[in-house]
Amino acid sequence: MAGLQGKKILFGVSGSIAAYKAAEWVRELVREEAVVTVIMTAAAERFVSSLTFAALSGNPVHLDMFDTDSERIMAHINLSREADAMLIAPATAQTLARLASGIAEDLLATVALAARIPIVVCPAMNSAMLAHPAVQENISRVCRFGYHVVHSTSGSLACGEIGDGRLTDWESTRETLLALFQPDDLCGRQVVITAGPTREPLDPVRFLSNRSSGKMGFALARTARRRGAQVTLITGPVSLANPPGVDVIRVSTAEEMAQAVFGCAPRADVIVKSAAVADFKPIAFSEHKLKKKTQGLQLDLEKNIDILAELGRKRPPRQLLVGFAAESREHASEGRRKLVEKNLDLIVVNDILGPQTGFEVETNQVILIDRKGHVELPLLSKEATAHRIWDAVVTLLPAVSVSPQEYSSGNRDPGCA
């Protein structure tokens, strides 16, 4: 499943100092090969020139309701008909008021009113304005209309104050846009995913670990969220940022991961164990740094708890359990053995010897094995692999009818949850 490539995005910019960030967002969209058409309010043009947006988007910028250019007659209807989604960022108090009351006073508000496409709104303003009940009511109203609000964040504002009202970051907005183009077939499902390595300490500075970067598990978390799931990501030490809209629990050892997983498991509809949990840990932890006085060092290790096997033993009815297997040979037979031994519904077998698969890299090549058979996937990005895993999960999920209203926490809009 592609990202934003080829998507036609109508980008509305209203008059806030944060308009300069919108210019950067247009660049990001174009970099992803989205087709961007910009509409600016008169106030927006006072902050950033329309020339900037025309140059960055590669398309003419629309400013005026009453353009006599024949190609643009009825622009308010045509612009939205030709687009896949509309993004309004920054959305000022003024623009929000127009959107909430249906006041078609300028081109941006008029196009939004005439649109039959999903609309993403990113408010940005001074924190006192944002806190005003009128603005809060307008935000609630546009949520009720079905607009996807990506809320502002706290920090230092251009006016010199510190507080809420800063335009959200591109990553959160991108996630909301991407979710518009995914199926919401995990809506209302509680999904627990593990990622990354564990670290088993030897002394205050050393540990046993492995090469897992967390990329596969984080890709699973991002894509599940986009598909509507309520996601808890339990990760060992990795250098990746928390995916927007995902509850993240950071742990270090296998024991800590086990406690976190067992704490979340009873409520989970699906558990996916993509973490590379250390199989062994040192029996003794040295409180002081081990000295290199002797020629060699003998380490006594003991087995760690097998979290996945334990989950397989205790799983409640209707819970779906997905394991991973990192294999260098006999991939399918090893995968099948683990599927049965650990009482799983699905296992994802990585080839860890291929140059572009398994640990650390951006791509993966896996075999999906369930009780009925197996599918060999081609080399794909980790996000595309994650989508294929969710496609398989969806076909295996027990048919529980879940309506988005019943599970507001499964709503894919952070702003409207």
Comparison of 14 and 304: residue with beta carbon closer to ligand PMT: 304
Q: Distance of CA 167 to CAs 62, 121, 123, 124, 153, Å?
A: 22, 10, 6, 5, 6
What is the rounded distance in angstroms from the CA atom of residue 72 to the CA atom of residue 79?
9
Each residue 172-211 as x (binds ligand PMT by CB under 6 A) or -, in order, gives ------------------------x---------------
Of positions 29, 96, 177, 275, contacts ligand PMT by CB under 6 A: 275
Among positions 277, 320, 339, 369, the unique one binding ligand PMT when judged by CB under 6 A: 277
* 125 close to 89: Cβ distance less than 8 angstroms: no
| Selected range binding ligand PMT among 12-20, 268-276, 287-295, 405-413, rule: CB under 6 A | 268-276
For ligand PMT, which residue of 276, 346, 384, 393 counts as binding (CB under 6 A)? Answer: 276
Q: Using an 8 Å Cβ cutoff, are 193 and 162 in contact? A: no
- Cα distance between residue 63 and residue 69, in whole Å: 12
Looking at 215, 315, 388, 412, which residue binds ligand PMT (CB under 6 A)? 215
Tell me if residue 159 is catalytic: yes
φ/ψ region of 206 (left if φ > 0, alpha if ψ in -120 to 50, else beta) reads beta
Q: Which residue, 78 or 381, has its beta carbon nearer to ligand PMT? A: 381
Q: Which amino acid type is present at position 90?
A: P
Backbone φ and ψ for 350, nearest 5 degrees, come out as -90, 145
Q: Which of residues 314-353 bind ligand PMT (CB under 6 A)?
A: 323-326, 338, 350
Nearer to ligand PMT, 148 or 338 (CB): 338
**Does residue 233 touch ligand PMT according to CB under 6 A?**
no
Distance CA 7, CA 332 (A): 38
Q: Exactly one of 169, 184, 306, 391 binds ligand PMT (CB under 6 A); which one?
A: 306
Strand, helix or coil for residue 155: strand
Looking up tokens 């809320």 gives 151
Q: Are 219 and 324 in contact (CB under 8 A)?
A: no
User: Is residue 312 near ligand PMT by the rule CB under 6 A?
Assistant: no
Residue from 88, 216, 270, 368 binding ligand PMT (CB under 6 A) = 216
Helix (H) or strand (E) holding 359: none
Euclidean distance between CA atoms 96 and 10, whole angstroms: 17
Interaction of residue 235 with ligand PMT, rule CB under 6 A: no
Output the CA torsion sign for 215, 220, 224, 230.
Answer: negative
Q: Cβ closer to ligand PMT: 170 or 359?
A: 359
Q: What is the chain's Cα-based Rg?
A: 25
Provide the minimum distance between the beta carbon of 196 and ligand PMT in the complex, in angstroms, as a whole number.
Answer: 6
User: With CB under 6 A as the contact rule, which of the stretches 69-77, 110-118, 299-307, 372-380 interacts with ligand PMT?
Assistant: 299-307
CA dihedral angle for residue 12, residue 14, residue 16, residue 18, rounded to 10 degrees: 0
**Is 384 an interacting residue with respect to ligand PMT (CB under 6 A)?**
no
Q: How far is the CB of 258 from ligand PMT (least distance, A)?
A: 8
Nearer to ligand PMT, 93 or 347 (CB): 347
Which one of 122, 143, 159, 416 is the catalytic residue?
159
- Interface with ligand PMT (CB under 6 A), residue from 12, 165, 358, 415: 358
Parallel/antiparallel/unpaired status of strands 366-370 and 374-376: antiparallel
Contact between 150 and 126 (Cβ < 8 Å):
no
Task: Please name every residue paired with 146 in a beta bridge, in sequence order, or none if there are none.
Answer: none
From the list 1-9, 120-128, 272-280, 369-377, the region that binds ligand PMT by CB under 6 A is 272-280
Active-site residue set? 159
Residues that bind ligand PMT in the complex, under the rule CB under 6 A: 196, 212-216, 254, 273-277, 279, 304, 306-308, 323-326, 338, 350, 358-360
